[in-house]
Amino acid sequence: MKRDVIIACDFPSAEKTYEFLDKFTEEKPFVKIGMELFYGAGPEIVREIKKRGHKIFLDLKLHDIPNTVKKSMSVLSGLDVDICNLHAAGGVEMMKWAIEGLTRPDGTRPLLIAVTQLTSTSQEMMENELLINKPLDEVVMHYALNAKTAGLDGVVCSPLEASKVHQVCGDEFLTVTPGIRFADGEIGDQHRVTTPEKAKEIGSDFIVVGRPITAAEDPVSAYRRCMNEFV
């Protein structure tokens, strides 16, 4: 899949989401549907947005025993999403079973990417609560390699980690990166942010952009600005 901008549709309801997507009359942006919208609106929202012609990254971050993840992935694959994800912390076996579940009878499947360590996890929290006594970036790269070993297509990571992930896991291994802000935009609650242009330079394959587009006065021109800088 070629480099693209994915809009994080973090809206509380299907109505709000359609109202937002209706603004795009000329293009069909790639969209990310997260837990809030999926749990609130149900699988129908995925079918409807797909029917409207958008590609979908379904961001549900599965993490359970291999058999449960495999069976759940099989359901998601039937929804015809383009990308879905899981927690690499579930282990290599869980990730392998996930791919089996995702693979359709004709051999096709959505792309599968892994969350390594959440960006909300600090070094201190990892050591004190999870009892992992390694540098955070070493843990992130190790989880990325585990994902690669299991046959996954890439990871969600900070754009600032994208080039290191490519060095460790190869150029073909996808990096999907949130934490994007325009040079003249508000940062909000994100910490380590970068611009679409810089993310392209570092080697992100997909950027996930929420509020810089969804909260913009003119979301369509904000989206076009992202596309111009990144693609």
- Between 70 and 76, name the residue whose CB sits nearer to ligand C5P: 76
As measured in angstroms, the least distance from the Cβ of 77 to ligand C5P is 22
> Interface residues with ligand C5P (CB under 6 A)?
8, 10, 34, 118-119, 156, 178-180, 190, 208-212
- Between 156 and 165, name the residue whose CB sits nearer to ligand C5P: 156
- Between 97 and 175, name the residue whose CB sits nearer to ligand C5P: 175
As measured in angstroms, the least distance from the Cβ of 201 to ligand C5P is 19
As measured in angstroms, the least distance from the Cβ of 179 to ligand C5P is 6
Give me the catalytic one of 61, 71, 134, 198. Answer: 61
Report the distance separating Cα 22 and Cα 60, nearest Å. 24
| Known catalytic membership, residue 61 | yes
- Between 54 and 211, name the residue whose CB sits nearer to ligand C5P: 211
As measured in angstroms, the least distance from the Cβ of 10 to ligand C5P is 5
Could you give the residue numbers annotated as active site?
61
